[in-house]
Structure 1
Amino acid sequence: MVALVSQENAVALVSRTGRQLQRYRKGRRQVVGCIPYRFKFGEEDCLKESAELELEVLVISSQKGNGMLFPKGGWEQDESKKEAALRETIEEAGVRGIVGGKLGKWSFKSKTHDSFYEGYMFPLLVQEQLELWPEKNVRERIWMSVAEARQVCRHWWMKDALDRLVNRLTAPRQFKSEL
């Protein structure tokens, strides 16, 4: 197994493989992932005093070509949940940033294996988008609006995590506007 090695500006171009170090709880594989996001404003917004920031999220293609999803993968014994989520996001989507507090935990049945999983998702405020990353040749990454991501995401539990992210990011604004 080759580990992803992050240094100042270098990333190993090999993903971790194998499941011998993966975590299981009550027979369920533990997976973790991130919803990479950023705020974007158009050129015309820069000129406005009260510019609205548009939330964008990064989705990636499935390795098997069956739709789009957020980066996620196995949580290994030598990592915290957040470390594993960041590693998977670098490996699969080629972005790094600040991992926020857990969005939640979901139990779901694998679409490709006849087994149940427990999934944990975290928000990741993207600070760097890498030109080269381990799964660059097997995945496509696309920035899109929340509405577009909700439409193309193939997993119900990831859509729920996306809703929780949006609620978390917009709640302070809604509260502020009510004052």
Structure 2
Amino acid sequence: MDEEDIEVLVITSQRKGKGMLFPKGGWENDESIEDAALRETVEEAGVVGDVEHKLGKWNFKSKNNDTLYEGHMFPILVKEQLEFWPEKDVRQRLWIRVREARKVCQYWWMKEALELLVNRLTTQANDSKMDSGCRKSNL
């Protein structure tokens, strides 16, 4: 897989003119971080899918105050796009290529997570090509 083949889902910020971001949010005491990622993705972007291996954890300060937050980023393999979802009236969702996501994503830590995802996907694809090439040459 080439980087140009990768599309990611971004959503608009609830605050007008504040850019695009990946779905995010907090998690409840009675749910896992992975379950929270799925719930927030349904609520904010209206998509359902499978959570994949975590990209990492980032610590960042709120733009409004000096509160320190911890962000965990997970890729979600989207299986279904819903026609209606809880935040449909306050957000837009958009599938864009990685190059565009780098430009429009407003948070540095989300951009770092994007780079890790691109690296993971392109490395897996190249490893897969090499594996299949070896198998073919062994025939």
TM-score, normalized by length of structure 2?
A: 0.87
- Does structure 1 retain, via aligned residues, the 8 Å contact 2:38–2:51? yes
**Which residue is equivalent to 1:76?**
28
**Shift of residue 177, structure 1, vs aligned partner:** 4.8
Aligned residues: 129
**Which residue is equivalent to 2:111?**
159
1:120 to 60, 64, 72: 72
**Which residue is equivalent to 1:62?**
13
Unaligned segments of structure 1, at least 5 residues: 1-38, 40-51
Tell me which stretches of 4 or more aligned residues in structure 1 moved more than 6 Å: none
**Which structure carries more relative contact order (alpha carbon 8 Å, separation 6+)?**
2
Q: Which has the higher strand share?
A: 1
Rounded to whole Å, the distance in 2 between the matches of 1:162 and 1:115 is: 24
Task: List aligned pairs for 1:111-150, cutoff 5 A.
Answer: 111-150=63-102
Unaligned segments of structure 2, at least 5 residues: 134-139
Q: Which amino acid aligns with 1:154?
A: Q
Q: Quick check: 1:104 aligned with 2:56?
A: yes
Q: Which has the higher helix share?
A: 2
Q: Which amino acid aligns with 1:82?
A: E
Rounded to whole Å, the distance in 1 between the matches of 2:31 and 2:7 is: 28
**Shift of residue 176, structure 1, vs aligned partner:** 4.4
TM-score, normalized by length of structure 1?
A: 0.68
Which stretch shows the higher mean deviation, 104-113 or 119-128?
104-113
Rounded to whole Å, the distance in 1 between the matches of 2:60 and 2:22 is: 15
- Does structure 1 retain, via aligned residues, the 8 Å contact 2:11–2:91? yes
Rounded to whole Å, the distance in 1 between the matches of 2:36 and 2:128 is: 34
Rounded to whole Å, the distance in 1 between the matches of 2:107 and 2:61 is: 10
**Which residue is equivalent to 1:92?**
44
